Structure 1
Amino acid sequence: MKATILNLAIAASLGSAVVAQPHRHAHHVHQKRENSPLEKREIVTTYVPATVTQYMLGNEVVSPEEAQAGLDKGLTSSKEDAVFIEKVTTSSSSPPPPPTTTSTPIPKPEPTKSSYPVSSGAKGIDADFPDGELDCTTFPSDYGALPLNYLGMGGWSGLQYTPNFSLKDLAISFIETGISKPAGQTGFYSYACPDGYVKTQWPAAQGSTGQSIGGLYCNSQGKLVLTRGDVSKKLCQKGISGITIKNKMSSGTSVCRTDYPGTENMVIPLDSTPGSSLELANVASNNYYVWQNKQTTLQYYVNKKGVNAEKGCRWVCDSDPEGCGNWAPINIGVGESDSGITYLSIFPNKAVSKAVLDFNIDISGDNSIKCYYHVGEGFSGGADGCTTGIPKGGSVTITFSE
């Protein structure tokens, strides 16, 4: 059995109906590999069984009642009870291991300019999407969507083909995950938004065994249609302001959000170049995606120095297959609670990675308690990371430094 451990502290005070983003790596099996049979395939069929949730404090399993009691304290009473963990166990097989390495040293990656546009390059962020008018082979960059050309999928961040699905269905039992540029197959086409923005479109239906589904829908007429047109006619919405990532290093790095709801790959990019300040998207958990009647949060992957978004914001990172992409050393979790407090966490990606981050992370500003990661010292909250609160209307800076 494969256990995926996620930070639950950002759901503090959100109530018993809230969980951290249920990022289940088990069904991400669509990455290309050298000499893999996937090289000549365009799609991979994926099946994910139901999940069982356990709550953990450190290395000890606690009951849901004990976990909720800890959450109700706000996770601020001491370092020892600063981080709760949600452990999602599935009976599916583990994802394929990273490509095996030879004795040849892996060259240290250097920051390079990414090929995807920066936020200012996105046009029409406030324009209504022309529902049912654009061909499925047209990426909707004129309506605010940010093309991720480096993924090789026509700009889309994720593709989930559902040939047997009708928009009236409540569940989706058959999903094919696309790995190359689409040719107009029916299904869901997910997309990235500029820094500080999140996508607005996903269907009410979810996978019959718990998969999240996201994006516009390509219908049988080959046209892109809104999946939440009753909520928003726009493709992107501004997240909650107040969290900035500032890079004070001489090297660049990347912070990659999971494409959620959707394939859940860590492909939504923030390219943190030296001297840059970028807005980290945040959402109100009670007004965003609901997974199996539970509120969710946003999750980010922090890569090492020298790994730009084009290299690191993908499932497999060729330059360091055991240390970036899905195996990045540190995660950031964020979400605003019902009370208006944003809970911000930094924690190790120890469920799958043994990599160690090679720079410091400090949170400063209107945060309730200290929360940092320092090279050689670790996290302020202990081995499992740390969580801090930001009052409604407050702001913090997440600083990267050497």
Structure 2
Amino acid sequence: MKLTSIALTAAAATVAVAQPHNHAHRHLHEHKQRAVTMTTYAASPTAYVYLLDGQEISAEEVCDGLQDNALKFVDGSDPGVCSSSAAASTSISVAVPTTTPAVPTTAAAEPTTTSEAPTTSSAAASSSGPAEFYQAPASSSSASASEAPSSSSASAAPSASASASVSSSGTGISAPFPDGQLSCSQFPSDYGAVALDYLGLGGWSGLQAVTIAGGFVNHIVTGVSGDTCREGMMCSYACPPGYQKAQWPSTQGSTGQSVGGLSCSGGVLRLTNPSLSSTLCIAGVGGVQATNKASGVVAICRTDYPGTESETIPVELQAGETEALAVPDAATYYTWEGKSTSAQYYLNPIGYPASKACQWGSPGTPLGNYAPINFGVGASGGVTWLSIFQNSPTTSAQYEGTVELQGNLSGSCKYQNGQYCSSTGCNSNGCTVSVISGTATYVISS
């Protein structure tokens, strides 16, 4: 019998909430071919030792800890220790839990290397999971990738500055979208969508030409600069700070790809999720913001998810500015194979505006998907979870500045000089807290 120890720890001791797509609970922003890290085992029987604080504990205690989201695997790799087929014969070694609450994560995807803007999103078979999801299933265990939420997650409106950024020439962010009336060539800025002209996509945050067969999207071609929203495409869009996209189709990728935005059909733009909202943008749960105390501009870029999963949704902060961050509600926002989703943001180096930072990056430049730090935000069961963590293994670049979560929180979480510190100590991975009351703020400084 082969004896193997696989370390676990409390989720808050490393990273949690919306980790980057090549961390636990995400797949890579690679729009060509995805590769997935698989854990292989010897043909002979394998047993694992369960340890907590150096003391052996039972398999039941380990599985209870995983089920309650109090424990997670340090390396992000889950050998299925508590599955019905494995729980009786496998075990693991467990590290010391911390007092900070944990948020579940899932197995990590292995990155593939690209130095170009994405061109296609292959439908080749892949076990890679989608971006930023909670491991705990949604309220219905039978939920699938083709199901759409039925209610809005707007439980609290963001700050007034978010609404002020919407074009005053139109009917505004709260106006119902005129389904099937606007030409696909017309970007819907009059209905709250924020045009991202610097991407060269006609204002859209992402374009996906999709092929549907058997009730699933089985092929996706991702638009590049110079493309426009046209027939057969899903046309995704950005919303103002504090708001998030409300439209995505129930038909999703056959191998885990996400698809989002309005559809271009019959030459006009059509809603894809009217049961969630008749508007293009909905508010997040509220209570989370970012403030820039650095000397230069700061760009925080959210993943366009569901959609192309590129880092194109901007929150740009000039020195001294504060903006809301949209926090999805796990109970009502996008689900993937029954798993609720959270949001992921990329913190770019001080001095780079959104037009430079909030798009597909390249190795050697710490921008976009190669930004050094990620923020994970999400709300589940009435609790808002926040994290700061290293964008690893995509990059080992260190952020040249300080980031600290402030407010009435369950603990402390701060990044400085390559270390993520909480009340239980420092590490090179990340830290997580929950919001007890009031507003939590990501404070960014030089």
Range into which the TM-score falls when normalised by the shorter chain: 0.7 to 0.9
Map of 2:408 onto structure 1 = 366
Map of 1:94 onto structure 2 = 112
Equivalences for residues 3-402 of structure 1 within 5 A:
9-10=16-17, 22-26=26-30, 28-29=31-32, 57-59=73-75, 61-63=77-79, 77-78=98-99, 86-89=106-109, 94-97=112-115, 119-121=165-167, 123=170, 124-162=172-210, 164-165=211-212, 170-179=215-224, 180-182=226-228, 184-219=230-265, 221-316=266-361, 321-338=364-381, 340-375=382-417, 377-380=419-422, 381-391=426-436, 394-402=438-446
Give aligned-pair identity as a percent: 39
Contact 1:151/1:314 (8 A) holds in 2: yes
CA deviation digits over 1:285-307, x for unaligned, max 9? 11100012211110000001111
> Alpha-carbon deviation of 1:118?
7.6
Contact 2:24/2:107 (8 A) holds in 1: no
Change (3 A) 1:183 1:367: closer
Contact 1:20/1:296 (8 A) holds in 2: no
Map of 1:4 onto structure 2 = none
Secondary structure of the residue that 1:213 maps to in structure 2? coil
CA RMSD of aligned residues (A): 3.2
Change (3 A) 1:121 1:334: same
Secondary structure of the residue that 1:246 maps to in structure 2? strand
> How many Å separate the matches in 2 of 1:352 and 1:140?
34
Taking structure 1 as the reference length, what is the TM-score of the superposition? 0.76
Contact 1:21/1:296 (8 A) holds in 2: no
> How many Å separate the matches in 2 of 1:373 and 1:355?
13
Contact 1:190/1:216 (8 A) holds in 2: yes
CA deviation digits over 1:141-166, x for unaligned, max 9? 0011000000000000010112x438
Contact 1:21/1:298 (8 A) holds in 2: no
Structure 1 unaligned regions, length at least 5 = 1-6, 13-18, 30-46, 68-74, 100-116
CA deviation digits over 1:318-358, x for unaligned, max 9? xx8431111000000011112x1111011000121121101
> Alpha-carbon deviation of 1:375?
2.4
> Alpha-carbon deviation of 1:282?
0.3
Contact 2:418/2:428 (8 A) holds in 1: no
> Alpha-carbon deviation of 1:374?
1.2
CA deviation digits over 1:245-269, x for unaligned, max 9? 1111111111000000000000100
> Alpha-carbon deviation of 1:96?
1.3
> Alpha-carbon deviation of 1:230?
2.4
Change (3 A) 1:242 1:177: same
Secondary structure of the residue that 1:142 maps to in structure 2? helix
Amino acid at match of 2:109: T
Amino acid at match of 1:77: T
Q: How many residues align?
A: 337
Contact 2:15/2:432 (8 A) holds in 1: no
> Alpha-carbon deviation of 1:98?
6.8
CA deviation digits over 1:75-100, x for unaligned, max 9? 98347x9687533336xx8131479x
Map of 1:102 onto structure 2 = none
Contact 2:317/2:323 (8 A) holds in 1: yes
Amino acid at match of 1:9: A
> Alpha-carbon deviation of 1:211?
0.3
**Range that drifts further, 231-240 or 181-190:** 181-190
> How many Å separate the matches in 1 of 2:181 and 2:227?
20
Secondary structure of the residue that 2:411 maps to in structure 1? coil
Secondary structure of the residue that 1:266 maps to in structure 2? coil
> Alpha-carbon deviation of 1:195?
0.5
Larger Rg: 2
> Alpha-carbon deviation of 1:66?
7.2
Structure 2 unaligned regions, length at least 5 = 1-13, 41-70, 84-95, 118-162
Amino acid at match of 1:25: H
Amino acid at match of 2:98: S
